[in-house]
């Protein structure tokens, strides 16, 4: 991320504000526990690229940008949904939550705080007290492996922070809101059910498209994705990692009851049919108190699967496609493809300058 380094404590390059400050930080990090009370070893810390861990709190907008960058950067590395997917490899937005914790460096004192509507602040703890511990919430699941899509996280960090507001400040804020709702839907709490997740992802799509209208959302998404054709997405071979396909044409019938009570049928693209079905499901949940079947199943559709998983993937892919507006032309491509392209651009002669190391 722009101006920041994210690394496990064991490999954190520093520098630290002082040796005393480093010692206090290590004392605090040693008190972190998982939900079962076991120590969290080798915690991941975020420091400034140049100043390292200098103990200075970032500005509010920078905190927001970092948090949203971590959320989507982590969630984008999850394996695609499949029926037999092992949950040990799945990360949630609980894993990417950013904690900024004040400590008394000189006296070794620390306080804990929890809650949002009702904030509970408890003070009087000392870092050198062996009884002091910070235990993770029960919902925190620790996958076997976690990583960040660094290029995507860096782009979101810069866009949300306002570095490119001169290009399109409105779209930048819409992207920020969309990522926020994506992260909310990925919370690993039983208080958020599959129907809630569908509603949250639908809000994320509305935020990104700038409209609550289904037709407007479809138009925005189709325009955004179709713009990728000028960036190399000329046929389905180049979008095998995506739900959207440049070969998508209106062939699917979608029937609904209009506001005047008459039945109507539209012929939509695969994308349009999925978004319309998603919106209709959200309508039933919110306006009629009905929880219908939350699985999308259409013949030979890329979007088949649980509505939440197909919906959140579409939202992530639409966010990445939207970043083309800010000059991030290839984030819609797979990480592997981008890595190969970067290596080839350095190795092969071409009309332009070589990529810097």
What is the tens place of the pLDDT at every residue in 64-98? Answer: 999 999 999 999 999 999 988 899 999 999 999 99
pLDDT band, very low/low/confident/very high, at 335 (cuts 50, 70, 90):
confident
Q: Are residues 17 and 158 in the same domain?
A: yes
Q: Are residues 210 and 125 in the same domain?
A: no
pLDDT band, very low/low/confident/very high, at 354 (cuts 50, 70, 90):
very low
pLDDT at 352: 46
- Label residue 157 exposed, middle or buried (CB < 10 Å: 0-12, 13-18, 19+): buried
Residue-wise DSSP of 191-244: TS-HHHHHHHHHHHHHHHHT-S-HHHHHHHHHHHHHGGGGGT--SGGGGTTSS-
Residue carrying the six token digits 């990522």: 179
Domain stop point among 163, 179, 210: 163
Q: Round to whole Å and give the CA distance between 357 and 195.
A: 47
Q: Are residues 17 and 123 in the same domain?
A: yes
In a domain, 199, yes or no: yes
In a domain, 182, yes or no: no
DSSP code at position 356: P
Residues 6+ apart with CB under 8 A from 247: 235, 236
Q: Which residue range is the domain that position 153 belongs to? A: 1-163
Q: Are residues 241 and 133 in the same domain?
A: no
Confidence check: pLDDT of 342 > 90: no
In a domain, 236, yes or no: yes
pLDDT band, very low/low/confident/very high, at 349 (cuts 50, 70, 90):
low
pLDDT at 310: 98
pLDDT band, very low/low/confident/very high, at 166 (cuts 50, 70, 90):
very high
165 CB neighbour count, 10 Å cutoff: 14
Confidence check: pLDDT of 350 > 90: no
pLDDT band, very low/low/confident/very high, at 347 (cuts 50, 70, 90):
confident
In a domain, 179, yes or no: no
Q: Are residues 204 and 89 in the same domain?
A: no
Confidence check: pLDDT of 333 > 50: yes
Q: Round to whole Å and give the CA distance between 316 and 322.
A: 10
Q: Round to whole Å and give the CA distance between 81 and 340.
A: 25
Q: Are residues 148 and 285 in the same domain?
A: no
Q: Are residues 24 and 125 in the same domain?
A: yes
Half-sphere exposure of 306 (CA within 13 A, CB side): 15
Between 186 and 355, the higher pLDDT residue: 186
Q: Are residues 291 and 229 in the same domain?
A: yes
Identify whether the C-beta of residue 178 lies closer than 8 Å to the C-beta of residue 319.
yes
Question: What total of structural domains would you count in the chain?
Answer: 2
Query: Rounded to 5 degrees, what angle do the CA atoms 185, 188, 194 make?
Result: 50
Q: Are residues 319 and 203 in the same domain?
A: yes
pLDDT at 277: 97
Over residues 14-40, the pLDDT tens digits come to 999 999 999 999 999 999 999 999 999
Distances (CA, A) of 41 to 33, 103, 125: 9, 20, 21
Q: Are residues 223 and 344 in the same domain?
A: yes
- pTM of this prediction? 0.92
In a domain, 126, yes or no: yes
Tokens of 198: 């569908």
Identify whether the C-beta of residue 199 lies closer than 8 Å to the C-beta of residue 288.
no
In a domain, 259, yes or no: yes
DSSP code at position 108: -
Identify whether the C-beta of residue 63 lies closer than 8 Å to the C-beta of residue 160.
no
Confidence check: pLDDT of 181 > 60: yes
Domain stop point among 163, 182, 215: 163
Q: Are residues 30 and 129 in the same domain?
A: yes
What are the beta bridge partners of residue 254? Answer: 266
In a domain, 169, yes or no: no
In a domain, 168, yes or no: no
Q: Are residues 215 and 312 in the same domain?
A: yes
């Amino acid at each position: 991320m722009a101006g920041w380094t994210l690394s496990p404590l064991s490999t954190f390059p520093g520098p630290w504000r002082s040796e005393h400050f480093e010692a206090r930080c290590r004392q605090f990090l040693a008190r972190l526990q998982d939900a079962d009370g076991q120590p969290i070893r080798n915690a991941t810390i975020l420091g400034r690229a140049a100043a390292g861990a200098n103990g200075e709190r970032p500005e509010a907008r920078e905190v927001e940008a970092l948090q949203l960058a971590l959320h989507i950067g982590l969630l984008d590395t999850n394996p695609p949904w499949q029926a037999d997917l092992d949950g040990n490899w799945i990360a949630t937005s609980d894993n990417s939550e950013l904690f900024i914790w004040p400590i008394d460096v000189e006296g070794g004192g620390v306080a804990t705080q929890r809650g949002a509507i009702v904030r509970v602040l408890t003070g009087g703890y000392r870092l050198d007290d062996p009884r002091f511990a910070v235990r993770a919430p029960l919902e925190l699941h620790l996958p076997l492996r976690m990583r960040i899509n660094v290029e995507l996280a860096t782009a979101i960090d810069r866009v949300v922070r306002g570095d490119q507001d001169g290009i399109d400040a409105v779209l930048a804020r819409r992207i920020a809101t969309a990522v926020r709702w994506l992260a909310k839907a990925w919370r690993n709490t039983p208080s958020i059910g599959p129907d809630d997740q569908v509603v949250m992802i639908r809000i994320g799509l509305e935020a990104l498209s700038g409209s609550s209208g289904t037709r407007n959302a479809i138009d925005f998404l189709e325009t955004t994705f179709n713009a990728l054709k000028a960036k190399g997405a000329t046929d389905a071979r180049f979008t095998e990692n995506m739900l959207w396909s440049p070969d998508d044409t209106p062939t699917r019938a979608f029937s609904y009851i209009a506001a005047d009570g008459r039945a109507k049928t539209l012929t939509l693209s695969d994308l349009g049919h999925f978004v319309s079905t998603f919106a209709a499901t959200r309508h039933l949940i919110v306006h009629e108190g009905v929880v219908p079947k939350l699985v999308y199943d259409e013949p030979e559709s890329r979007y088949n699967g649980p509505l939440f998983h197909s919906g959140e993937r579409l939202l992530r892919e639409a966010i990445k496609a939207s970043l083309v507006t800010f000059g991030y032309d290839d984030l819609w491509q797979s990480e592997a493809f981008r890595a190969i392209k970067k290596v080839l651009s350095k190795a092969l002669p071409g009309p332009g300058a070589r990529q810097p190391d």
